[in-house]
């Protein structure tokens, strides 16, 4: 029943199946949207802390005290800059999520996750959750090496990658794997 088409010339490529139903990646997009809002708020708060600590540090130095709060002010300034840049970057990451380019998304997400955890934690935690979400949703498929497509869970047939939609399709079951 299984035709061996590997040795013969591809006379007629299989017809492109109908477009798949949209993936339920709503949680991922929600997480990225939440991270974007939080990044903006954290940038504002960090900027405010910077101004307060800067004023405090200058005052302390003026009265001959410790300039320790200037170090904290510097940290807040970097945190404000990092969270602002995260806020600027997130629309591009959300676009990658909507295009289901999970491999590329994870590569870029890791940098912002680590930076977010170092600078004011909040955004980093949300981005880490988004990271976990991608792994749960797309991990086995994103990690599958090229040329070794996943197997249909219903019939065991090798699935075919449909490049138009970035999804795997089983021609025997006429269904998408995910
Ligand atoms: Zn199947």
- The 10s digit of each residue's pLDDT in 27-59 is 888 999 999 999 999 999 999 999 999 999 999
How close is the Cα of 37 to the center of ligand 1, in Å? Answer: 42
List, in sequence order, every residue forming a beta bridge with 169; answer none if it has no partner: 160, 176
CB 150 within 8 A of CB 140: yes
What spacing in Å lies between the alpha carbon of 13 and ligand 1's midpoint? 18
CA of 18 to the centre of ligand 1 (A): 16
Give me ligand 1 centre to Cα 128, in Å: 34
pLDDT at 139: 47
Closest CA to 119 of 92, 87, 91, 96: 87
Q: Ligand 1 center to residue 104 CA distance, Å?
A: 28
pTM: 0.68
User: Do residues 112 and 119 lie in contact, with contact meaning Cβ atoms separated by under 8 Å?
Assistant: no
Phi, psi of 169 (to 5 degrees): -130, 140
Say how many Å lie between the CA of residue 149 and the centre of ligand 1. Answer: 13
Whether pLDDT at 171 is above 50: yes
| Token pair for 83 | 């969270």
Over residues 127-131, the mean pLDDT reads 94
* Tens of pLDDT, residues 70-123: 999 999 999 999 999 999 999 999 988 887 778 889 899 999 999 999 999 999
CA distance 82 to 150: 39
- Which residues, including other chains, have CB under 8 Å from residue 83's CB and lie 6 or more apart? 39, 40, 42, 43, 46, 116, 119, 120, 123
Whole-number average pLDDT of the chain: 85
Lookup: tokens for 58: 């200058």
């Amino acid at each position: 029943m299984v035709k061996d088409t590997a040795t013969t010339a591809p006379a007629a490529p299989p017809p492109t199946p109908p477009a798949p139903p949209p993936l339920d990646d709503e949680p991922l997009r929600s997480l990225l949207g939440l991270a974007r809002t939080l990044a903006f708020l954290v940038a504002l708060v960090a900027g405010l802390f910077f101004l307060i600590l800067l004023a405090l540090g200058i005052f302390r130095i003026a009265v001959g005290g410790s300039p320790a709060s200037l170090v904290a002010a510097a940290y807040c300034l970097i945190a404000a800059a990092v969270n602002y840049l995260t806020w600027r970057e997130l629309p591009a990451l959300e676009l990658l999520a909507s295009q289901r380019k999970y491999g590329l998304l994870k590569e870029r997400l890791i940098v912002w996750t680590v930076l977010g955890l170092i600078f004011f934690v909040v955004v980093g935690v949300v981005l880490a959750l988004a990271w976990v979400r991608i792994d749960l949703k797309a991990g086995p498929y994103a990690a599958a090496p090229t040329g070794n497509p996943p197997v249909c869970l219903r019939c065991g047939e090798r699935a075919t990658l449909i490049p138009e939609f970035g999804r795997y399709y089983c021609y025997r079951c006429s269904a998408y794997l995910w």
